[in-house]
Amino acid sequence: MKILGLSFGKKNANCDILTKEALYGAREAYPDAEIKFINTQRLNIGRCIGCGACSTALEKGKDNNCIIKDDFQMLENEVRAADAIIVAAPVYVLQPVGQFKDFVDRFSCRHDVSAINWVLDKRRSGEMPGNPDEFPQERLKRRTVSYISVGGASTENWTSMGTASLHLFGFPAMMQVVANYNAYSMGTVANPYLDDELIERMHEIGKRTAAAFEMNSEDVEFYAPQGTGTCPVCHQNLLTVNGTTTVECPICGIEGKIAINGDKLEVTFSEEQQARARGTFKGLREHTTEIQGFGAICAPKIMANKELLDEKMDRIKNFEKYIEA
Ligand SMILES: Cc1cc2nc3c(=O)[nH]c(=O)nc-3n(C[C@H](O)[C@H](O)[C@H](O)COP(=O)(O)O)c2cc1C
């Protein structure tokens, strides 16, 4: 088994410590596992430029590597090779540090299990070029993952989108989430080694993330020492409200119903909704279908309004000329 620890924090600082302790936990349970740790801070990972080269290549029967050449490819290869992954990122202004999102943006679309299978099915039926069996299968392999969010503030709300945003790492690739942990208040803890319970929990996370890889998905129990959360799928406490009794989990994109019971807010997500969460094949397929439908909707609109759009777009392309006129 290959276990990977990724820290997006400073060298030898809190994220490194918590990730490495989780890896020590995994080592205790799996003496023969291949364990690797990477600190990303000094890596050069540029942003996704939205060029679409990866999707175009895939649809032409080729591999879907990113065309930007920097340290991303190395990190992506490590994630692809891993079976069980521990990801820790510091909260910078309420969310994981930007480098984490830059990695996610370039990783996620190209590992969307539904989108890849959509193309592979078209290759099998001959509708698209390319041999489906030649497509690198590690894109679609099963992986387990756990997330650790690290924040300095002692007020938990200063880390409000930390753990939730970490879930963006694995859902397109349908990684099975074993645990997430909000290690906030590092400003008062001073050093993780001064909090025995925290270190113990990291060992448990490491052990469980590795163990889960060897188990059937259905038998894996989410490890929730800080509570199981409101959404039964991602176990986060964020909700999108719209003035009705229907709410949404912004991570999973599923609907729940709210009810007030005394001073308690109850949120119920039906089995049907849970089955279409963003990190399931069904949820991802809904999005693939949506995206594949854009062309049929937009092409006639653009053709019918070509002159108007050409004129309007001139205002955008020559902005400096128009704004001073
Ligand atoms: C630019 C910046 C913004 C930060 N914003 C927050 C924040 O919004 N909430 C919080 O709890 N901690 C915040 N922190 C503190 C870090 O999350 C904390 O120092 C953490 O331990 C850094 O991870 P590391 O020790 O692994 O490098 C911020 C730190 C920096 C440098």
From 17, 40, 91, mutation site for ligand 1 pocket: most ligand atoms within 8 A of C-beta: 91
pLDDT of residue 135: 85
Question: What is the band of 255 on the pLDDT scale with cuts at 50, 70, 90?
Answer: very high
Q: 199-241, pLDDT tens digit by residue?
A: 999 999 999 999 999 999 999 999 999 999 999 999 999 999 9
Which residues surround ligand 1 with Cβ inside 6 Å?
9-10, 13-15, 90-94, 150-153, 158-159, 184, 186
Question: Residue for token digits 């650790």?
Answer: 148
CA of 91 from ligand 1 middle (Å) equals: 5
What gap in Å lies between CA 71 and CA 69, rounded to an integer?
7
What gap in Å lies between CA 71 and CA 38, rounded to an integer?
12
CA of 196 from ligand 1 middle (Å) equals: 21
The SS3 call for residue 136 is coil
- Which structural domains are found in the chain, ordered by start? 1-226 (3.40.50.360)
Ligand 1 atom at minimum distance from 155 CA: 11
What gap in Å lies between CA 76 and CA 113, rounded to an integer?
16
Mean pLDDT of 107-124: 93
CA of 95 from ligand 1 middle (Å) equals: 9
Contact predicate 94/159, CB 8 Å: yes
Using the predicted structure, report yes or no on whether residue 63 has a pLDDT greater than 90. Answer: no
For the chain, the average pLDDT equals 96
Lookup: tokens for 47: 């942003």
pLDDT of residue 134: 87
pLDDT of residue 64: 87
CA of 226 from ligand 1 middle (Å) equals: 20
Share of the chain above pLDDT 70, in %: 100
Question: What is the band of 318 on the pLDDT scale with cuts at 50, 70, 90?
Answer: very high
Ligand 1 atom at minimum distance from 153 CA: 11
Q: 73-96, pLDDT tens digit by residue?
A: 999 999 999 999 999 999 999 999
Question: What is the band of 325 on the pLDDT scale with cuts at 50, 70, 90?
Answer: confident
- Which helix (H) or strand (E) segment holds residue 259: the answer is strand 255-261
**Within 10 Å of residue 222's Cβ, how many Cβ atoms?**
18
Comparing C-alpha atoms, which of 81, 71, 78 is closest to residue 41? 71
Instruction: Tell how strand 84-92 and strand 95-96 pair up.
Output: antiparallel
Question: What is the band of 119 on the pLDDT scale with cuts at 50, 70, 90?
Answer: very high
Comparing C-alpha atoms, which of 90, 239, 232 is closest to residue 158? 90
Contact predicate 86/20, CB 8 Å: no
Comparing C-alpha atoms, which of 242, 240, 241, 259 is closest to residue 251? 240
Question: What is the band of 117 on the pLDDT scale with cuts at 50, 70, 90?
Answer: very high
CA of 7 from ligand 1 middle (Å) equals: 13
Comparing C-alpha atoms, which of 147, 51, 44, 145 is closest to residue 99? 44
Q: 124-172, pLDDT tens digit by residue?
A: 999 999 999 888 888 899 999 999 999 999 999 999 999 999 999 999 9
